[in-house]
Amino acid sequence: MFIGHYGPSFAAKRVEPAVPLWILFIAVQLLDVFWGIFVLLGVERVRIVPGFTKTNALDLYYMPYTHSLPGALGWALVAGVAYLAASRSRRGGLLVGAAVFSHWPLDLLVHRPDLALYDNAAKVGLGLWDYPLVTLVIESALVLGGLGLCIANTRALKGSARYAMPLFICAALGLQAAMAFGPPPPSDDAMAVTALASYAILAGAIAWLEKAGVPGAKPNEPERPNGYSL
């Protein structure tokens, strides 16, 4: 799963507008960010096998540190506590932790059984990657649903961000469709670098959009009850 992971980040933004979207964007992909780094370091492993699933060529046979159930819970706890320590917001910490963990059940939907329940064993995965159209519909529904929730809350997104974000997300969905039906990556390292670059670009773009959406004001300032911000 790629773009669908961002659905929970928008939903979390609606619940707690004070958490910057770029942090939530990194949070929902944190397991994959470490996966990319660990693949480059040789700590976790992936094989490129053309035709392995109908959506991509990834044989994710060894990723116990990032994509096992205890691994996902551990990273969620660390990220939640780190955000709590930095922001002093208990609600923000909880949401960041939940956003990190949301990656695992969403991966569970699409992955082949490669998500370990412990260590590198008892692997689960519902395998929707073998149904590319179903996967694309689910990913689109997740991200557009989350975005809709976020836009419906005027405190969460303001100004031009409310109009630019749907366009941005549609462009990202188009990119995902192109990747799903395009050629497989040339190597495992190339896959890891592409994934890391995509997450960095999306987080950077969302930070810029969120800032640009509130001209001359802090992105998350409190709002008066009558709907006008200070």
Chain residues binding Zn ion by CB under 5 A are 32, 107
How many Cβ atoms sit within 10 Å of the Cβ of residue 169? Answer: 21
CB of 104 to Zn ion, least distance (A): 8
Written as six digits, the tokens of 103 are 């990656």
Long-range CB contacts (< 8 A, 24+ apart) of 89-94? 89/16, 89/18, 89/19, 91/15, 91/16, 92/16, 92/18, 92/19
> Is the CB of residue 11 less than 8 Å from the CB of residue 148?
no
Choose between 107 and 210: whose C-beta lies nearer to Zn ion: 107
How many other CB atoms are found less than 10 A from the CB of residue 224? 8
Q: What is the DSSP letter of 183?
A: P
Nearer to Zn ion, 107 or 188 (CB): 107
- The minimum distance between CB 194 and Zn ion, in angstroms, equals 14
Which 3 state secondary structure label does DSSP give 59? Answer: strand
Token duo for residue 125: 């995965």
Q: Are 103 and 5 in contact (CB under 8 A)?
A: yes
By three-state DSSP, how is residue 124 classified? Answer: strand
Q: 107 or 139, CB closer to Zn ion? A: 107
Q: Which two tokens stand for residue 10?
A: 């928008």
**Amino acid letter at 120?**
N
Least distance between Zn ion and beta carbon 112 (Å): 12
**In terms of CB distance, is 32 or 210 closer to Zn ion?**
32
The residue type found at 207 is A
Nearer to Zn ion, 32 or 44 (CB): 32
